[in-house]
Amino acid sequence: MKKTLLSILFLCLTLMTGNIFAQDTKGKEDKKIVLTISGEFDAAIKNYSNDRFATPKGPETEHSATARIPSFDVNMQYQFAPKWKATADVEFISESNIQVDEISLTREFTPTFNIKAGMFILPIGHCNNGYTYLDYFTAGDPEGEYALIPCPFIETGVSLLGKLKCGLSYQASFTTALTPLKYSAQYWTQYATQGFFKDDSFFSSPAISLNLGYDGIRNMRFGAGIYYCTNTARNMSLYSGYKEYCLKNFNKTQSVPVTILFADGQYQNDYFTARASYMQGFMGGTYQLTSYYRSLLNNIDREFNGEELEYVKGAIGKQVISYMGEVGVNIKNCFYKESKGPELIPFVHYECYDSEEKVASELCELRNPCSKVSLWSFGINWKAIENIAVKSSYITRRIGRGSDTMNNANEFALALAYSFDF
């Protein structure tokens, strides 16, 4: 509750600051406010439990029906002066949590060069690269990247960004970096951003990232990027009670570098849409890190100053991988383009991801076959209007690495996705 109140207070202060600055520029240019509200409602009938690591053979067999609102997002961009823009983004997510995705200030110099400072989403990975619920054909976001890296990838720092005349855009960022306290064998760095309203470790070992985009060819969009931190071990939180233990045994003596590479693309015209993405992550020092966390679990409490160690068991991945592709056909435009009826888009979607694609040779016996998932999804989207899409799909997942004895996870899903600008 305390974090929730602080988040709302911070957002209010940001909006008030924008109003104060706007008064100084009154008469020079009209204020420009863009408010975007988006989200999705999901429902599904499943033959499995939610935890695919529940048993050595995968998720437990359990027939169930679920319904949830995964997120409700409110984004505001406020051009309060000719060259200044404030952005605030708040996401209301499942289990009654409020997450602040962005509080930033941008100084615009030219279309090719701008500076953003504050807390914002790094465009690393396909899911962090500007796509929305309406863009994807599946109910919910693609699974792979969400299972491996932070989505959204929220950090605090400064970015240089702009768009060049040839259709090339860029964003180079210098930010806080991931913290190993939240690394795990099951979900790699998914929960490892340093968070909001905390004493972020910035100069200990910051991260650099670069995203390049290209839309110079009609109907096409490409993106690629890299994230790198030379030693995330230095960003470990040092709490009283085990500070000396941590200092002497790990964070000052070991190195845990992290590198994330990704590339994605989209082609979209009136008749069909195709998307694909590829993401690969690398981590050093995984044997030492896994051994260290196993010793922590054996010797001291797994909760540190109210923050719980994410590692449970298994081998933290030395290399992880995720790739995805989907194709949809617009039936309306193919056969009755001049009609005013709704758009029907049948689609096929494929994904594969593995949080333990490669592990340190000393940890091979800890490698969990449930870490790998491949899935197919077939369904149809109904776009009643431009801002609303009703999605239906059948999803079949194969758990494990080539074994026929694993439990698979299948479901039929329905979703309502929307996005409105005001």
Token reading at 155: 């950090």
Using CA atoms in the order 392, 396, 399, 402, what is the torsion angle rounded to 10 degrees?
A: -150
Residue scoring higher pLDDT (212 or 7): 212
Q: Pick the range with the lowest mean pLDDT from 20-29, 73-82, 381-390.
A: 20-29
Whether the ω angle into residue 152 lies within 30 degrees of 0, i.e. cis, is yes
Q: Give the per-residue pLDDT at 18.
A: 45
Q: Express each pLDDT in 102-161 by its tens digit.
A: 999 999 999 999 999 999 999 999 999 888 888 889 988 889 999 999 999 999 999 999
Token reading at 289: 């890190």
User: How far apart are alpha carbons 190 and 123 in whole angstroms?
Assistant: 15
Residue 330 binned pLDDT confidence (cut-offs 50, 70, 90): very high
Residue 16 binned pLDDT confidence (cut-offs 50, 70, 90): very low
* Percent of the chain scoring above 70 in pLDDT: 84
Q: Express each pLDDT in 394-422 by its tens digit.
A: 999 999 876 677 888 999 999 999 999 98
Residue 9 binned pLDDT confidence (cut-offs 50, 70, 90): very low
